């Protein structure tokens, strides 16, 4: 089925013990959503300075950039190295899917601007609206024009790269998704997350005093009533990455 294709997850976060135990780390979460029979999936812990060698980049059919606790507008050494890698992948026309931090750093690498979201944290299940052009792009998938996705971020894409196109937005975030050519796609939300992972993250944010207890309680109460469109997102992400759109 997969035709022997090879993909890599560029891991931009440290796995918590809980996610490691329950899901095999965030790498395991992405493989669960995206991998198909016959494919090879590798992981590079880029936040720890682990990058693919220059001579093996060409061997990969596509790359996925994960979320992170770091700021995409930061200048840590690994972030600068990741930006250089993304520019190389662009020049090679490689498929790249950026998720949350990955969406932001992809935009930055291509010439866009990122920063703190003016509306503050967005945590929970958010309804995002696909643009008319993206509805045509995804027409073969037969998915709704409004999709629910799990979000957990306080940064955002402030300004798109030249030649990039916004293909989805929400009431809180003007750039929920963007495309750059046919080979690069950014998604601000977390199509790979389960509600269980988000509940775990809410507890971690509370523990590290990033959010207040009353806010955490309200988020958990709301989460009981809503579901993300996980199957539609799986279809969208796999179809983009495997060149089936």
What is the set of active-site residues? Answer: 100, 190, 192
Region for 24 from its dihedrals, namely left if φ exceeds 0, alpha if ψ lies in -120 to 50, beta otherwise: left
Q: How many CB atoms lie within 10 A of CB 132?
A: 9
The 3-state DSSP class for residue 151 equals strand
DSSP secondary structure code for residue 150 in this structure: E
Residues 39/71, Cβ–Cβ less than 8 Å:
no
Region for 28 from its dihedrals, namely left if φ exceeds 0, alpha if ψ lies in -120 to 50, beta otherwise: alpha
- How buried is residue 75: exposed, middle or buried, by Cβ count under 10 Å (0-12/13-18/19+)? exposed
Q: How far apart are CA 41 and CA 50, in angstroms?
A: 16
Q: Which residues pair with 159 in a beta bridge?
A: 113
Closest CA to 106 of 193, 34, 183: 183
């Amino acid at each position: 089925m997969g035709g022997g294709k090879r993909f890599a997850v560029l891991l931009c976060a440290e796995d918590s013990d809980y996610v490691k135990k329950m899901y095999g780390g965030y790498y395991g979460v992405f493989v669960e959503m995206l991998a198909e029979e016959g494919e090879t999936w590798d992981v590079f812990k880029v936040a720890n300075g682990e990058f693919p060698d220059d001579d093996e980049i060409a061997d990969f059919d596509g790359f996925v950039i994960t979320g992170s606790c770091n700021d995409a507008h930061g200048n840590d050494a690994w972030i600068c190295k990741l930006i250089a890698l993304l520019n190389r992948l662009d020049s090679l026309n490689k498929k790249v899917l950026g998720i949350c931090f990955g969406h932001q750093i992809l935009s930055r690498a291509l010439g866009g601007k990122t920063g703190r979201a003016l509306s503050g944290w967005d945590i929970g299940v958010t309804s995002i609206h696909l643009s008319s052009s993206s509805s045509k792009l995804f027409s073969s998938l037969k998915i709704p024009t409004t999709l629910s996705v799990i979000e957990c971020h306080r940064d955002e894409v402030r300004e798109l790269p030249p030649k990039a196109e916004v293909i989805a937005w929400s009431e809180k975030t003007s750039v929920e998704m963007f495309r750059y050519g046919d080979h690069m796609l950014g998604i601000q939300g977390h199509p790979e997350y389960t509600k269980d992972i988000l509940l775990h993250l809410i507890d971690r944010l509370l523990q590290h005093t990033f959010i207040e207890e009353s806010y955490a309680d309200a988020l958990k109460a709301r989460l009981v009533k809503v579901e993300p469109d996980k199957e539609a997102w799986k279809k969208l992400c796999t179809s983009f990455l495997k060149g089936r759109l």
